[in-house]
Amino acid sequence: MEKNKSRRSFLKNISLASASALALSGCTLKELEKFFQKNFRTLSEEEKKELIAELEAEYKEKYQKDFHVSDKAAIDGTLFGYALDVSRCIGCRRCVYACVEENNQSREPQIHWIQVLQMDKERGIDFAHSDVHYDPETVPEEGHFYLPVQCQQCRTPQCTTVCPVKATWQEPDGIVVVDYNWCIGCRYCMAACPYGARHFNWAKPEIPEEEINTETHYLGNRPRMKGVVEKCTFCIQRVRAGKYPSCVEICPVGARKFGNLLDPDSEIRYILDNKRVLVLKEELNTQPKFYYFFGV
User: Which window, 120-128, 161-169, 188-196, 237-245, contacts another protein (CB under 8 A)?
Assistant: 237-245
Q: Quote the Cα angle for 79-82-84, to 5°.
A: 170
- Shortest separation between residue 37's beta carbon and another protein, angstroms: 19
Distance of CA 8 to the CA centre of its chain: 47
- Shortest separation between residue 295's beta carbon and another protein, angstroms: 6
Residues 193-212 that bind another protein (CB under 8 A): 202-204, 206
Q: Which is nearer to another protein, 61 or 137 (CB)?
A: 137
Contact code string over 56-95 relative to another protein, x by CB under 8 A: ------------x-x----x---------x----xxxxx-
Using the Cα atoms of residue 255, residue 82, residue 283 and residue 277 in order, give the sign of their dihedral: negative
Q: Count Cβ atoms below 10 Å from residue 157 Cβ, excluding itself.
A: 23
139 in contact with another protein (CB under 8 A): yes
Q: Which is nearer to another protein, 182 or 200 (CB)?
A: 200
Report CA-CA distances (Å) from 146 to 60, 125, 282: 39, 9, 19
Distance CA 268, CA 289 (A): 10
Distance CA 277, CA 288 (A): 12
243 in contact with another protein (CB under 8 A): yes
- Shortest separation between residue 49's beta carbon and another protein, angstroms: 16
Q: At a CB cut-off of 8 Å and minimum separation 6, what does 237 contact?
A: 70, 215, 216, 217, 220, 221
Which of 275, 277, 280, 281 is close enough to bind another protein by CB under 8 A? 275
User: Which window, 12-20, 21-29, 109-117, 185-193, contacts another protein (CB under 8 A)?
Assistant: 109-117
185 in contact with another protein (CB under 8 A): no
